[in-house]
Amino acid sequence: MPPTIGGLVDYLFVPRLDTRVENEHFQQELISAMTRVLDSGQYIGGPEVESFEHEVSNFLGVEHAIGVASGTDALTIALLAIVGIEAQDGEVITSPVSYCATGSAILRAGLQPRFVDIDEESFNLSPELVEAAIGPEIRAVLPVDLYGRVAEIAQIRLAAGNRPVIEDACQAFGAKTPTNEFAGTLSNVTAFSFFPSKPLGGYGDGGLVVTRDSNVADLVRIIARHGSRERYYSEFPGFNSRLDALQAALLRVKLSRVKSARLQRTHIARCYQEELKDLTWLRLPQDVEGHAWHCFTIRVLNNKREHLIRYLKDRGIEVVVQYPAPLHWMPPFKTGQCLPIAEQLCSELLCLPIWAGMSDAQINHVIQAVRFAGKMI
Ligand SMILES: Cc1ncc(COP(=O)(O)O)c(C=O)c1O
């Protein structure tokens, strides 16, 4: 029995994520998938990659799914395919609260990010502010489905007018909109990441571009293969960006668990919502239908975040500040803009552990520790 103070278990290790616990349930299937690839002798492209692309496009209900080497590549290649492969002038509207890959992809595609502030409740791009920022220099809009909540894609498409919308759904595989469409199915083109912590996490790096537009899909494949439409003939300098056969085989196993893993994370999110809702020194994320709960991100008010992090760490709970600074403060993307909601959010946010396979004891330990912390800090 772990030691307790005042009914609270004093220490229980709750990692930010433990993919090994999740894997235990289908370890044998993963091993069979790896063995199949080893035995096939085909490690680049081939039937595993084709089957995965086919299964994932069926799962999402989009016509084209193209595996690439990472989410960052998926975003960069999607941008190049939709905006053009020539050196570009122009800007792409995006969110200032995202992983730096969102900004890097825009720069790598030869464009400049134009950050627009986020909505305080959803943490996603505000369609009204997108509309206000549209001007002749804007080439595209790139919303991010932050923490697994799908951005207001339909409204953003309206705000974007005839400009394309490229969705960064790297954190939102399997998430749905309030009208029950999968993340990635409403935009012109979408990028997913298979980084291991993501809702469809792989066993190394990997990414995916999805689109309904066959011209865009063709271009994505060409860009990802050194600008080659035909083998051994390059038309322009593209990338070498492929999803490995081994990754594809393993992801096929994981794809069949995406829904149940999302339901498990939803259960944890609902426990947190229910048990923490009376704490006035923090704000909980909105509980919207279809959320993928890649992160459960609270806002810690009154400058208590550092104390809370230390308090939880001392009790074995790993939390993460994802992200401590908005993109427009970072050297590659500095725009000199003032975006008050994003800046405030970055100073308050904290992601509590949420992953498929967390035990009831671990969920309860987080809840009790956060509640107890409120009395101590
Ligand atoms: C919002 C967002 N965009 C892009 C990426 C880049 O994905 P990857 O790490 O697979 O390159 C990530 C992953 O960390 C992400 O969270």
Listed in sequence order, the residues at least 6 apart from 268 whose beta carbon sits closer than 8 Å to its beta carbon are: 293, 296, 354, 358, 363
Listed in sequence order, the residues at least 6 apart from 88 whose beta carbon sits closer than 8 Å to its beta carbon are: 109, 110, 111, 139
Q: Which two tokens stand for residue 227?
A: 């600008």
C-alpha pair distances (Å), 271 with each of 186, 198, 329, 368: 31, 21, 35, 11
Q: 4-18+258-376: what CATH class? A: alpha beta
Q: Which two tokens stand for residue 76?
A: 């960069």
Average pLDDT over residues 64-90: 93
Q: What local confidence, expressed as pLDDT, does residue 335 receive?
A: 87
Report the separation in Å between the CA atom of 206 and the middle of ligand 1, taken as the mean of its atom positions: 10
Average pLDDT over residues 259-275: 98
Contact 150, 127 (CB under 8 A): no
Percent of the chain predicted with pLDDT > 70 = 97
> Ligand 1: does its nearest atom lie under 6 Å from the Cβ of 57?
no
> Ligand 1: does its nearest atom lie under 6 Å from the Cβ of 206?
no
Calpha distance 295→273 (Å, rounded): 13
Contact 177, 152 (CB under 8 A): no
HSE value, Cβ hemisphere, 13 Å, CA-based, for 308:
27
Ligand 1 atom closest to 194 (CA) = 10
Q: State whether CATH 3.40.50.2300 applies to domain 27-116+124-255.
A: no
Helix, strand, coil shares, percent, the chain, to 5: 40, 15, 40
> Ligand 1: does its nearest atom lie under 6 Å from the Cβ of 368?
no
> Ligand 1: does its nearest atom lie under 6 Å from the Cβ of 201?
no
Ligand 1 atom closest to 75 (CA) = 4
Nearest CA to ligand 1 atom 14: 99
> Ligand 1: does its nearest atom lie under 6 Å from the Cβ of 102?
yes
Contact 206, 255 (CB under 8 A): no
Biggest CA–CA distance in the chain, Å, is 71
Contact 53, 66 (CB under 8 A): yes
Q: What is the pLDDT of residues 204-242, one digit of tens each?
A: 999 999 999 999 999 999 999 999 999 999 999 999 999
Burial of 7 (0-12, 13-18, 19+ CB in 10 A): exposed
Average pLDDT over residues 142-169: 98
Nearest CA to ligand 1 atom 4: 101
Average pLDDT score, the chain: 95
Nearest CA to ligand 1 atom 10: 71
> Ligand 1: does its nearest atom lie under 6 Å from the Cβ of 142?
no
Q: Which two tokens stand for residue 250?
A: 């393993």
Burial of 19 (0-12, 13-18, 19+ CB in 10 A): middle
User: Residue type for 326, please?
Assistant: P
Question: 3 pLDDT band (50/70/90 cuts)?
Answer: very low
Listed in sequence order, the residues at least 6 apart from 156 whose beta carbon sits closer than 8 Å to its beta carbon are: 125, 127, 130, 141, 143, 165
Q: Which two tokens stand for residue 27?
A: 């370890």
- Phi, psi torsion values for 261, nearest 5 degrees: -65, -40
pLDDT surpassing 70 at residue 262: yes
Mutate to test the pocket of ligand 1, among 118, 171, 241 (most ligand atoms within 8 A of CB): 171
Calpha distance 48→332 (Å, rounded): 37
Report the separation in Å between the CA atom of 87 and the middle of ligand 1, taken as the mean of its atom positions: 24
Tokens 């993501």 locate to 198
Q: What local confidence, expressed as pLDDT, does residue 1 receive?
A: 40
Tell me how crowded residue 230 is: count the other CB atoms within 10 A of its CB: 9
> Ligand 1: does its nearest atom lie under 6 Å from the Cβ of 82?
no
Report the separation in Å between the CA atom of 376 and the middle of ligand 1, taken as the mean of its atom positions: 36
Q: What local confidence, expressed as pLDDT, does residue 89 receive?
A: 87
Domain boundaries, the chain: 4-18+258-376, 27-116+124-255
Question: 144 pLDDT band (50/70/90 cuts)?
Answer: very high
Ligand 1 atom closest to 146 (CA) = 1
Q: What is the pLDDT of residues 280-293, one digit of tens each?
A: 999 999 999 999 99
Q: What local confidence, expressed as pLDDT, does residue 86 receive?
A: 78
Q: What is the pLDDT of residues 319-329, one digit of tens each?
A: 999 999 999 99
Tokens 């705000």 locate to 159
Give the SS3 label for residue 14.
strand
> Ligand 1: does its nearest atom lie under 6 Å from the Cβ of 193?
yes
> Ligand 1: does its nearest atom lie under 6 Å from the Cβ of 101?
yes
> Ligand 1: does its nearest atom lie under 6 Å from the Cβ of 103?
no
User: Residue type for 263, please?
Assistant: L
Report the separation in Å between the CA atom of 148 and the middle of ligand 1, taken as the mean of its atom positions: 12
Q: What local confidence, expressed as pLDDT, does residue 4 receive?
A: 52
Mutate to test the pocket of ligand 1, among 195, 205, 208 (most ligand atoms within 8 A of CB): 195
> Ligand 1: does its nearest atom lie under 6 Å from the Cβ of 147?
no
Listed in sequence order, the residues at least 6 apart from 361 whose beta carbon sits closer than 8 Å to its beta carbon are: 9, 12
Report the separation in Å between the CA atom of 346 and the middle of ligand 1, taken as the mean of its atom positions: 18
End-to-end CA distance of the chain: 27
Q: What local confidence, expressed as pLDDT, does residue 87 receive?
A: 62
231 Rama sector, left if φ>0, alpha if ψ -120 to 50, beta otherwise: beta
Chain-centre distance of CA 355, in angstroms? 14
Q: What is the pLDDT of residues 4-52, one digit of tens each?
A: 555 566 899 999 999 999 999 999 999 999 999 999 999 999 999 999 9
Strands 228-230 and 233-234: antiparallel
Burial of 261 (0-12, 13-18, 19+ CB in 10 A): buried
pLDDT surpassing 60 at residue 356: yes
Nearest CA to ligand 1 atom 8: 71
